[in-house]
A and B are shown apart, each in its own frame.
Chain A
Amino acid sequence: AQSVTQLGSHVSVSEGALVLLRCNYSSSVPPYLFWYVQYPNQGLQLLLKYTSAATLVKGINGFEAEFKKSETSFHLTKPSAHMSDAAEYFCAVSDLTDKLIFGTGTRLQVFP
């Protein structure tokens, strides 16, 4: 079975600081991993995905994530936070039947 765990339901950073959102996965098959962002009252938007082509994945809005098999992790980072990054972030793994299994989400707050 596949699952993801997001450590930290809330993360607060100052504008310009490093953003680090943690995601660990469990998968009985080679994992395919996704990060989605949800702005208030909107649907989910794909930030980036890992499909085994490269372990360091670059996404939109300056975000990137590194797949580390030894640590079963897929943490999301951004070198310098912007006020517009404030949102909820979800890590997900795709199931054998293609559906997404989501983590519980991390709400990112960015302070000026």
Chain B
Amino acid sequence: GAGVSQSPSNKVTEKGKDVELRCDPISGHTALYWYRQSLGQGLEFLIYFQGNSAPDKSGLPSDRFSAERTGGSVSTLTIQRTQQEDSAVYLCASSPRTSGRTDTQYFGPGTRLTVL
């Protein structure tokens, strides 16, 4: 079956612009996660959705970052007024959340964001 897909695969933007990153999880997966991978910070958690609600958004680095999920499926991560330090690969993962902490998270290929 289809895996997690993300779009765009690459995004180059100018400092100060807003960007939207999209994630399509595996069909039927109720849990969705956003992570960020950067040279300086490694792999870090951003936000977790269960259905359409976000019980854990503790990893969002600032109020310029927001995310939503609609219909228990597609999620969009929005970064407003982008800064150069936002340059990173943004990874999305989904899981069926049948057993919580032991569930496998399935990752998408990521969106590489470059802020000039």
Chain A interface residues toward B at CB < 8 A: 32, 34, 36, 41-46, 49, 51, 90, 94-105
Chain A at the B interface: SS class: loop
| Size of B's binding interface in residues, CB under 8 A | 27
Q: B109 and A105: CB pair below 8 A? A: no
Q: Is the CB of A43 within 8 A of B43?
A: no
Interface residues of chain B: helix, strand, loop or mixed (majority): strand
Q: Is the CB of A98 within 8 A of B42?
A: no
- Are A100 and B102 within 8 A (Cβ)? no
**Least Cβ–Cβ distance between A57 and chain B, in angstroms:** 12
Q: Flag whether B31 is at the interface (Cβ < 8 A).
A: yes
What residues of chain A lie closer than 8 Å to B45, measured between beta carbons?
95, 99-101
B31, B55, B110: residue with the most chain A Cβ atoms closer than 10 Å: B110
Indicate with 1 or 0, residue by residue over B6-42, a CB within 8 angstroms of chain A CB atoms. 0000000000000000000000000101010000001
Cβ contact of B100, chosen from A42, A90, A98, A102, cutoff 8 A: A98
